[in-house]
């Protein structure tokens, strides 16, 4: 997966989880949970969607990689 | 004949608008079927039927706003399955003929029996008489007929109506002695704003039963229903701005009432989450994302189990006394993205396994935000939990939802230096709080409740 594809996938997942969040031009250091106001259930759903779309499981130990937009892109693109 | 009434979807609701009918006269409905969509100040809610039967008349049109308790439709109940029929019981043990629109009961209740009171099937009453009874707000199931073979006559109906009016007009007596009433009747009276002192009881020793409270309402609501009817053009749900305003107003009214009426006391505790989180992490390691638990599931389960251990915080303050709830229905404060909040309940939360509790919690949050809650979920929380952990605050001391008597708060799970066995270590901790009604309990009880939660969280495998 290229970084662009990863970013696209992340934005798509976020659109589902937080429909009201303004996702246009998110800076790379956006904290997905705090800045977008995702609660633990939203975040779980976010991980679930990423996992479904990529067809690879995402372990709980990997959650820290999904902290910011940039780290999440790096994590998904590197798989 | 059962009446489908405008349900009281929470103590803060006094009127609702019929947004949509999902049934038409003649349709068969089952208990729990969604039959209408009701707009409240806070959200559009799917209103469920509280009995099985055939839809009679739809009495309130789409777009009309009517007070809580107003009859929206009639439903002719189907006889219960013979196999499910309990053995014959004395009249005092009969279920009330009308099931309340608010289900205080577990969903797995046995099918309802045929209307008990008058001992005759509703079908034996002529349509004209039924119509007259409806106009006068008389419950036919409660009438003893004086006609041939005990059939109800027009005179019976009018006599009953006159009696009801006399009862309704009687000024509420402020007698020093408490009115005898069943807990359900008290709760309903509080919701509908009925003064129990003005209700004529038909139960043992003149105690007020649920049906008596309902009977006391029609006269009052008939008048207000006429005024409240609004043009059908208003059928659309509130716009975003209107919703935001009405939401704030509804929250404001309820919270002001809580602070005005309830003498809150507050206790707090810091709970070591090491064992819970380790157990959770270990468990989640083997599971698909969709089956993983979040720490909130453990906190909710602990709150529910502790409420069962310390029953003085689980129930309602009604008519100057505490009425403990049998089951633990855990209200969950869910904040909506556009602002405001809803507090649907997870029924029988103390009896649910963690996985089931978790899935119900997820489902409630999704549906609360999508505006697809069901009426049963908004009516019968016995204690409420607010979990602000995700918002990053350490502690929250909430405002109690009347007539409940306690609200549990969970803050963010944070790592803190903690002294254990004479050594300082870094451990995940969560601050638990309880706001409780001092009329129903003392701080000792509240302290016991929080200590119970802490104990439970040290044994996560037993949750």
pLDDT (tens digit per residue) in B24-67: 999 999 988 899 999 888 888 999 988 899 999 999 999 999 99
Strand spans (E) along B247-339? 264-272, 315-318, 321-324, 330-332, 334-335
pLDDT at B302: 98
What pLDDT, in 10s, does the model give residues B83-128? 444 444 334 333 333 333 444 444 443 343 333 333 344 345 665 6
Higher pLDDT, B170 or B260: B260
What's the DSSP call for residue B381? -
Structure tokens belonging to residue B360: 């119900």
Backbone angles phi, psi at B428, to 5 degrees: -75, 130
The pLDDT assigned to B124 comes to: 52
For residue B182, name the pLDDT band (cuts at 50, 70, 90).
low
Mean pLDDT, range B205-220, rounded to an integer: 67
Token digits of residue B324: 């403990």
**pLDDT for residue B150:** 60
Contact call for residues B49 and B75 (beta carbons, < 8 A): yes
Q: What CATH number does the domain containing A24 carry?
A: 1.10.1200.10
* Token digits of residue B267: 């206790």
- Which chain A residue has the Cα nearest residue B294? A40
B91-105, B205-219, B366-380: which has the minimum mean pLDDT?
Answer: B91-105
Average pLDDT over residues B347-373: 91
Mean per-residue pLDDT of chain B:
79
pLDDT for B139 equals 65
Any A CB within 8 A of B100 CB? no
Tens digits of per-residue pLDDT, B230-286?
A: 333 335 667 778 888 888 998 999 999 999 999 999 999 999 999 999 999 999 988
Specify the CATH architecture of the domain B261-462: 2-Layer Sandwich (3.30)
**CB within 8 Å of B366: residues ≥ 6 apart:** none
Reported as a pLDDT band with limits 50, 70 and 90, residue A73 is very high
- pLDDT at site B239: 76
Nearest to B182 by CA among B206, B164, B163: B206
Q: Which two tokens stand for residue B294?
A: 């979040």
Give percent helix, percent strand, percent coil of chain B, each to the nearest 5. Answer: 40, 20, 40
* Bigger pLDDT: B337 vs B31: B31
Q: B257 in contact with A at a CB cutoff of 8 Å? A: no
Radius of gyration for the alpha carbons in chain A, expressed in angstroms and rounded: 11
Q: Where are the domains of chain B?
A: 2-235, 261-462
Residue predicted with more confidence, B61 or A19: B61
**Closest Cα in chain A, distance from residue B244 (Å):** 15
Instruction: Please report the pLDDT score of residue A38 as a whole number.
Output: 86
Cβ–Cβ below 8 Å for A48 and B289: yes
CA distances to A66, B126, B129, B352, B397 from A11, rounded to whole Å, are 13, 64, 63, 35, 36
**What residue numbers bound the domain in which A44 lies?**
3-77
Q: Do B289 and A58 touch (CB under 8 A)?
A: yes
Report the SS3 class of residue B33: coil
CA distance B122 to B364: 38
Cβ separation B292–A60 shorter than 8 A = yes
Which run of H or of E encompasses B13? none
Is the pLDDT at A5 greater than 80? The verdict is yes
> Percent of chain B scored above 90 by pLDDT?
46
Q: Which residue has the higher pLDDT, B162 or B208?
A: B208
User: How many Å separate Cα B68 from the centre of its chain?
Assistant: 13
Query: Over 90: is that where the pLDDT of B308 sits?
Result: yes
What's the confidence (pLDDT) of residue B354?
Answer: 95
- Find residue B44's DSSP bridge partners: B39
| pLDDT exceeds 70 at position B205 | no
Least CB-CB distance to B294: which of A34, A41, A57? Answer: A41
Using the predicted structure, report yes or no on whether residue B165 has a pLDDT greater than 70.
Answer: no
Alpha-carbon span B142 to B152, nearest angstrom: 10
Which residue in this structure is represented by tokens 């990529």? A54
Domain count, chain A: 1
Record: contact A39-B281, CB cut-off 8 A = no
Instruction: Pick from B25-34, B195-204, B386-395 the range whose average pLDDT is largest.
Output: B25-34
Contacts of A38 in chain B (CB under 8 A): 390
Residues B8/B191, Cβ–Cβ less than 8 Å:
yes
Q: State how beta strands B44-48 and B373-374 pair.
A: parallel
The residue behind tokens 């704003």 is B193
Residue B19 exposed, middle or buried by CB count within 10 Å (0-12, 13-18, 19+): buried
pLDDT at A24 over 80: no
């Amino acid at each position: 997966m290229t970084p662009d594809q990863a970013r696209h996938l992340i934005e798509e997942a976020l659109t589902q989880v937080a429909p009201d969040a303004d996702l246009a031009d998110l800076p790379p250091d956006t904290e997905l949970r705090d800045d977008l106001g995702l609660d633990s259930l939203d975040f779980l759903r976010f991980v679930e969607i990423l996992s479904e779309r990529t067809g690879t499981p995402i372990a709980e130990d990997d959650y820290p990689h999904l902290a910011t937009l940039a780290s999440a892109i790096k994590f998904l693109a590197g798989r | 004949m059962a009446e489908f009434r405008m349900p009281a979807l929470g103590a803060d609701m006094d009127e609702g608008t019929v947004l949509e009918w999902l049934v038409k006269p003649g349709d068969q409905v089952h208990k729990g079927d969604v039959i209408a969509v009701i707009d409240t100040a806070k959200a559009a809610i799917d209103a469920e039927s509280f009995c099985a039967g055939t839809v009679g008349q739809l009495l309130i049109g789409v777009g009309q706003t009517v007070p809580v308790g107003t009859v929206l439709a009639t439903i002719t109940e189907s006889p219960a399955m013979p196999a499910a029929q309990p053995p014959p019981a004395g009249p005092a043990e009969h279920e009330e003929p009308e099931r309340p629109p608010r289900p205080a009961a577990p969903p797995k209740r046995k099918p309802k029996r045929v209307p008990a009171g008058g001992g005759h099937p509703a079908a034996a009453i002529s349509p004209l008489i039924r119509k007259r009874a409806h106009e006068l707000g008389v419950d036919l199931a409660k009438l003893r007929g004086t006609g041939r073979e005990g059939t109800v006559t027009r005179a019976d109906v009018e006599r009953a109506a006159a009696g009801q009016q006399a009862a309704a007009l009687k000024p509420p007596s402020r007698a020093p002695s408490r009115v005898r009433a069943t807990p359900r009747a008290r709760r309903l009276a509080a919701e509908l704003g009925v003064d129990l002192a003005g209700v004529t009881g038909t139960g043992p020793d003149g105690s007020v039963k649920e049906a008596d409270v309902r009977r006391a309402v029609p006269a009052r609501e008939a008048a207000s229903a006429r005024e409240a009817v609004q043009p059908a053009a208003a059928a659309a749900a509130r716009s975003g701005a209107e919703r935001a305003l009405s939401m704030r107003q509804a929250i404001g009214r309820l919270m002001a009432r809580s602070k005005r009426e309830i003498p809150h006391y507050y206790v707090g505790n810091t709970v070591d989450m090491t064992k819970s989180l380790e157990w959770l992490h270990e468990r989640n390691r083997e599971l698909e994302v969709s089956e993983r638990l979040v720490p909130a599931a453990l906190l909710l389960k602990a709150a529910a189990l502790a409420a069962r251990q310390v029953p003085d915080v689980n129930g309602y303050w009604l008519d100057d006394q505490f009425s403990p709830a049998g089951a633990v229905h855990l209200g969950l404060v869910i904040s909506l993205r556009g602002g405001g909040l809803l507090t649907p309940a997870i029924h029988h939360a103390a009896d649910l396994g963690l996985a089931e509790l978790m899935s119900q919690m997820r489902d409630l949050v999704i549906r609360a935000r999508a505006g697809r809650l069901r009426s049963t979920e908004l009516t019968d929380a016995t204690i409420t939990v607010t979990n602000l952990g995700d918002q990053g605050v350490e502690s929250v001391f909430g405002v109690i939802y009347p007539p409940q008597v306690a609200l549990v708060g969970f803050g963010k799970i944070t790592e803190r230096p903690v002294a254990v066995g004479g050594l300082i270590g870094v451990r995940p901790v969560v601050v638990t709080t309880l706001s409780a009604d001092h009329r129903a309990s003392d701080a000792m009880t509240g302290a016991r409740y929080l200590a119970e939660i802490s104990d439970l969280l040290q044994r996560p495998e037993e949750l």
